[in-house]
Amino acid sequence: MAIEWAAVTRGRDVARSAESTTGARADFPFLDQDLNGHPLAYLDSGATSQRPRAVLDAERSFLEHDNAAVHRGASSLVGRSTDAFENARLTVSSFVGARENELVWTSNATDALNLVATGLTNGFLDGDVPDALRIGAGDEIVVTEAEHHANLLPWQHLARRTGAILRFIPVRDDGTWTLDDARAVIGEHTRIVAFAHVSNVTGMIAPVAELTALAHEHGALVVLDACQSAPHLPLDVRSLDVDFAAVSAHKMYGPTGIGALYGRGELLDALPPARSGGSTITRVTMESAELLPSPQRFEAGTQPVSQAVGFAAAADYLTSLGRDEVASHEHRLGEALVAGVSSLPGIRLVGPPEGVDRAALVSVAVDGVHSHDVGQFLDDRGIVVRVGHHCAQPLHRRLGLTATTRASVGVYSTLDEVERFVDALGDVRAYFGADR
């Protein structure tokens, strides 16, 4: 299906060639390949992003020259390894706007969210936590209907263990929600409000500061899933005033196997750890143990040191590109995605409509064609997207869908790739005979 892209983009300054406006594409060796006989168009950065040479080189250099057990031993090599590990913490904490002692290494963002929920569960069971962290029967935990399972299941578990009540901010027919929707749910019994900064399905950008202020008016804690925002938008957790926030390295051009939890200092110090063991203690007897201060009290066992180094390199890399420049580039691509998809017949766009600010990802349902067939059709043309429910089954169920096809951009994405995606999407229904 031929699309008049000059009309669709309305003359917007969008990167069209093999070079993105951030100048980043050449930094990613992974992208220099063909897929099924076509130049690779990687439009699945919302699932996992690719790594620039700066990240690959940082990890490799650490492993070749500095690899040793951190915080263990008196060797100068151990000192170098420990310095690299803790300097990485300083870099990533600065990237998200946190203090160094407010950032805990985790295995991923799901682990970070579980660390908070399990810590609150442990506090309920042990009975030794301040009132701000005490969740009990009749208290209310509020999440939106649009959450990734990682920001839903831990709260289900907390509610089951404590007798708390799980309540939901409802989404509208396009998958979005408003502050008025939140006000109708948050009340005097609300103790936790957990939500995504950016929805991984709809691309909706949440009003974080406003919702946080509303939650705090009622004495509730705010837990932010920042996985889909940290790589793409400027993020300052202290300015947003959230109490906890989770990020994941592999979504922001870093390694897999590592994420981070931000926790407001006084809350993190009082939160019971979800795990215990070596590296978390100052003194152990056969009957008890004294814990280190946060963040080390949460980091039991051998840590992912080279991954932390890579995570920090990814943060430095994004900073070097300019975070406002990254956001601007991706915003232009997102506008082109939404405009292009909106021009296609028989395609349902999930999330905010054209003209409403949103993140640079689109999820679509193609009339008469299953998302897995759409994904295979695109893959045959060298275009990589995500298909399925994107770990958000309740949201898809609310929208009357079982699955969608999602395209999401990164710093290396170009308008050529967006055009290829939209053009191919326009041919899907005819190929499968769904336009008859």
Query: Catalytic positions, please?
Result: 391
Among residues 336, 279, 310, the alpha carbon closest in space to that of 58 is found at 310
DSSP string, 232-300: TS---HHHHT-SEEEEEGGGTTS-SS-EEEEE-HHHHHHSPPS---TTSEEEE-SS-EEEPPTTGGG--
Q: Contact 203/229 with Cβ under 8 angstroms?
A: no
Among residues 195, 138, 159, 204, the alpha carbon closest in space to that of 358 is found at 204
Q: Contact 352/422 with Cβ under 8 angstroms?
A: no
Distance CA 152, CA 160 (A): 13
Give bridge partners of residue 366 from the DSSP assignment: 347, 369
Give bridge partners of residue 365 from the DSSP assignment: 348
Residue recorded with tokens 């999407």: 425
Report DSSP state, residue 206. Answer: P
Residue 199, CA distances (Å) to 224, 228, 365 in order = 11, 7, 17
